[in-house]
Structure 1
Amino acid sequence: MLGGTLAGRSAWLVSMLGFAALAAMAMILFAVGLSGAAGGAPAVASTASRGSNAIHLGVASCSGSTCHGRSENDGTVVRQDELMRWQEESSPSGAHSRAFRVLSEPRSQAIAQRLGIGSATSAPMCLGCHADPVSAGQIGPRFQLSDGVGCESCHGGSQNWISSHYAVGATHQGNVAAGLYPLTNPRARADKCLDCHFGSDRPGQFVNHRIMAAGHPRVSFELDLFSTLQQHHDDDADYVRRKGKISNVRMWAVGQASALDRALSLYSNQKIAQDGIFPEFYFFDCHTCHRRISDDANFRATAVANPARPIPSGMPAFNDENMIMLTAAARAAAPALAGRLDADSRAFHAALATDRASAVRAAGKLRATAEALANSFAATEFSRAQTFAIVDAVASNAVTARLTDYEGSVQAVMATDTLLNALVNSGQVGAGSAAAIRGDINQAYAAVRDPNSFRPAEFRAALGRAANAIRALR
């Protein structure tokens, strides 16, 4: 089903972060958990993303052998071994179940100690993403905090749909109407995942620069890739009949637009975007500040000029990884919005060098463009030609010239892999042909293995080779 790409993707994630971090990266990139939230801030994500007030009955309520608790995938309608896959110790698919356990590990305890928040296993700023953070009034009798990110963390409180969703004649639309969260909707899924994989304004769901300084791993997310790593179902004919076909390219494109929307909305929130006299540096590209410094007269600066960031030298740059990917997607699938996106993103970067009021105004305009793109992508089928065109755009000179920093380059290689995977999943490229160029994809992954030794020129060359190999399959 994955066209031979999952092994390469997982291998890169493991090599970059180690398995313990991968376990959480596939669930919340080690979770955006140890996070300090700004209480009382205005809502950022959609109302649907917040879920209903239904009671969360707990993972045990889904674990019967006639439901999702079998040891083999021999169900007549669904696999019925979903719980076992959720608990899988040797695979990223079990990362959500390990979320709470991660908080007991030495790294998490050390981070909590540096932050002075007590034990990570009980700190609200950790539990917001390492567990199912429901209110006391939503906790059912079989609910266990130690279940970590359980079924209802993503599917919503099951009080009103647990009995009806397996009833004779039940439909997916009926289950959604009863409160099941609509994860098959790309925009709804993005909103849900971004709450922890990027952050929200809810308690415990916003990672900040201080938490990163305390040792929390970097946060990186790509909706389609992480959905693949966490998938517990089969996209068979019955699934498609009941829920529709999920397009990998559409999921990727909507995810990029939604991530930019979320970043800008949080940045514009005064209660989150400031930290004392400083701006909240979490929103900015790490490596515009964290570069090698020397007083040697022969030292060469490591910063690389970026043509899309009209900001003075020495200023931190807003993390534009999603803007860059959106540029590629828009050129191929929403050309009417491509020029608007380029103009609005440049204006936003320029406004950051002016004052906060100007930056917030520019962020609002760019957000509107991101939302327009999300709506456009959500309604796009993404043809074979468009998918190849996005690969071309990601590796084009106009886009690669903007890959001057680590974060954007990571998104570029994940996008290239995702788009190839989509072509295989849709039957538009043979699995054998895709496997033959696995080495080129892996070389691009290797180029972003270590953020501290990242070299833009070498990465661009590796990405170009991978894109050329995919282009040859056209």
Structure 2
Amino acid sequence: MAQRGSAIRRLIAGVRAAFGFARPLTLLPTAALTLAIALFAGLSAGQPLNAQSGYSYTGVASCAGSTCHGRSEGNGAIVRQDEIATWQSPSAVSGAHSRAFALLGGRRGQQISSSLGLGDARSAGSCLGCHATYVPASERGPRFQLDDGVGCESCHGAAIGWLSSHYEVRGTHPANVRNGLTPLEDPQVRARVCLDCHYGSTDRGQFVTHAMMAAGHPRLTFELDLFSAFQQHHDVDADYVQRKGQPDSVQLWAVGQAEAVARATDLFARPAYGTEGVFPQLYFYDCHSCHRPITDGDERRLTFETNPGRPITFGQPPFNDENIIMLSAVADVLAPGRSDAFRAASRDFHDAMDDGRADAQRAAIALRSEAQSLSAALSSRGYGSNDAFTIVERIGSRAVSPRFTDYAGSVQAVMAIDTLLNALVSDGRVTTGAAAGIRANINRAYSAVSSPGEYRPAAFRTALGDAVSAIGRLR
């Protein structure tokens, strides 16, 4: 994981520097911990909060007591109980949620909001939807603080219904879910929760427009298993498996790809999101097909390659199909009965870009349907020990690798190979020592996509191909 993390950190170094992710953050203040302990005492004394209290969200402090999730060491009998410390980690990735609100008050956050005429970013709904647990004031309990950032309830759901039941000795996970706990062990559910901010949704403040990116907001990318690994604050032990089942990294990755395609096409098909004035909403398109050096000299550097998966006119801005490419490889291996239909729908979608908004919208809806069907199939199937090997081979095959012509798709591809190698190590199919050697090739691929301005498709494909070949020799 350390090697894997260092490679990803190099990839996101620019975003870290701009947003100040590396700034240390201390644990919750003593006052907040005191309130949390008092809350726990009240619950233990038979005075549980309930929906009649008039609010649904209790805030991070309600989870932060030393008898709950606020221990300094992860040594709890059932769960680690140091989850707050993990959430507030100074790490650029595992502690990012706790710093999300604070970023809005930083130089870059204020510059973006000022450019967009939003005023103070810390009070702008367009920003708070993803930089905080942004719920109406009427739903916030007395210990709820908006400046906690992306708190526990952003992912786990409003706690008022399950806060008391989830620590009861005889409590069960299904009962907690019935009381409102979000079942994040379900890959589809987890993907949709993450995608709300890591791609976008129709909720207020959860869609990054092209204007926001023009003002300085970083481009978003998404890979469910990798993101889950960086945010994991639990141990997958016997107790976890008994309560929630055994998670599978390949399944998480595959379902994440399907849900990302479904979300992208769903939003694109909606008029309020897919268009902006006379232009399409350019958020959906591959940034670097347009943002490239333009010169009038004789030495022109071609930065736009014809992509065999996109039947579009040369020079037409391509839809960002990073997840579509990955899902095509997934379908070929894990859902072959649906692969031809998905591939045809994706080609029809790209082809419709030359025909106008109405045709593209219809094609997007058709592609969304195929992606949703794949998501359901990938969520319900069993997974074998050879699946990761087979998918790696498919990504590196002549049918798929020529489609890595663009920066975003290449980033997604190297994250996929990284994730699948990690799954092979976790399953005992590849030793740690063997993986370390392969990571040298993976790191070369990461280096090839470390900067959009320096991206070279041919060099990337060579590096990725070397990594794929090295993994294949271990099968």
Moved more, 209-218 or 421-430: 421-430
Partner secondary structure for residue 101 of structure 2 = helix
Whether 1:458 and 2:464 are equivalent positions in the alignment is no
Partner of 1:226: 227
Partner of 2:122: 121
For 1:99 and 1:281, the matched residues in 2 are separated by 25
Partner AA of 2:339 in structure 1 = A
For 2:12 and 2:442, the matched residues in 1 are separated by 16
Partner of 1:8: 6
Whether 1:79 and 2:80 are equivalent positions in the alignment is yes
Note the C-alpha offset of 1:86.
0.6
Q: Deviations over 1:113-147 (max 9, x none)?
A: 11111011111111010000111221011000010
Partner of 2:322: 321
CA contact 1:109–1:119 (8 Å) conserved in 2: yes
CA contact 1:345–1:366 (8 Å) conserved in 2: yes
CA contact 1:256–1:322 (8 Å) conserved in 2: yes
CA contact 2:157–2:180 (8 Å) conserved in 1: yes
Note the C-alpha offset of 1:238.
1.3
Inter-CA distance 22–402: structure 2 relative to 1 (3 Å threshold): farther
CA contact 1:5–1:421 (8 Å) conserved in 2: no
CA contact 1:249–1:422 (8 Å) conserved in 2: yes
Identical columns (%): 54
Q: Deviations over 1:373-404 (max 9, x none)?
A: 10111012221222111001111111111111
Partner AA of 1:341 in structure 2 = F
Partner of 1:197: 198
Note the C-alpha offset of 1:235.
1.0
Partner of 1:354: 355
Q: Deviations over 1:165-219 (max 9, x none)?
A: 0101111111111100010000001111100000011111111111110111111
Partner of 1:395: 396
Partner of 1:165: 166
CA contact 1:99–1:130 (8 Å) conserved in 2: yes
Moved more, 66-75 or 377-386: 377-386
Note the C-alpha offset of 1:7.
2.8
Once the two structures are superposed, the pairs formed by residues 377-396 of structure 1 within 5 Å of their partners are 377-396=378-397
Once the two structures are superposed, the pairs formed by residues 24-423 of structure 1 within 5 Å of their partners are 55-423=56-424
Note the C-alpha offset of 1:237.
1.6
Partner secondary structure for residue 382 of structure 2 = coil
Partner AA of 1:215 in structure 2 = G
Note the C-alpha offset of 1:288.
1.5
Partner secondary structure for residue 18 of structure 1 = helix
Note the C-alpha offset of 1:90.
3.1
Inter-CA distance 20–299: structure 2 relative to 1 (3 Å threshold): closer
TM-score w.r.t. length of structure 2: 0.91
Q: Deviations over 1:279-326 (max 9, x none)?
A: 100001111111221122442432111111111112111110011000
For 1:367 and 1:316, the matched residues in 2 are separated by 20
Q: Deviations over 1:391-449 (max 9, x none)?
A: 01111111111111000000000000000111112222222221232211111111110
Note the C-alpha offset of 1:341.
1.3
CA contact 2:68–2:81 (8 Å) conserved in 1: yes
Larger Rg: 2
Partner secondary structure for residue 291 of structure 1 = coil
TM-score w.r.t. length of structure 1: 0.91
CA contact 1:13–1:22 (8 Å) conserved in 2: no
CA contact 1:8–1:442 (8 Å) conserved in 2: no
Partner AA of 1:364 in structure 2 = I
For 1:16 and 1:397, the matched residues in 2 are separated by 32
CA contact 2:55–2:138 (8 Å) conserved in 1: no
For 1:220 and 1:240, the matched residues in 2 are separated by 30
Unaligned runs of at least 5 residues, structure 1:
25-52
**Higher RCO (C-alpha 8 Å, min separation 6):** 1
CA contact 1:283–1:318 (8 Å) conserved in 2: yes
Note the C-alpha offset of 1:242.
1.2
RMSD of aligned residue pairs (Cα, Å):
1.6
Inter-CA distance 6–299: structure 2 relative to 1 (3 Å threshold): closer
Partner of 2:470: 469
CA contact 1:92–1:230 (8 Å) conserved in 2: yes
Note the C-alpha offset of 1:356.
1.0
CA contact 1:54–1:158 (8 Å) conserved in 2: no
Partner of 2:40: none
Moved more, 53-62 or 437-446: 53-62
* Count of residue correspondences: 444
Partner AA of 1:406 in structure 2 = Y
CA contact 2:19–2:108 (8 Å) conserved in 1: no
Note the C-alpha offset of 1:244.
0.7
Partner AA of 1:410 in structure 2 = V
Partner of 2:28: none
Unaligned runs of at least 5 residues, structure 2:
23-53
For 2:253 and 2:467, the matched residues in 1 are separated by 19
For 2:64 and 2:291, the matched residues in 1 are separated by 46
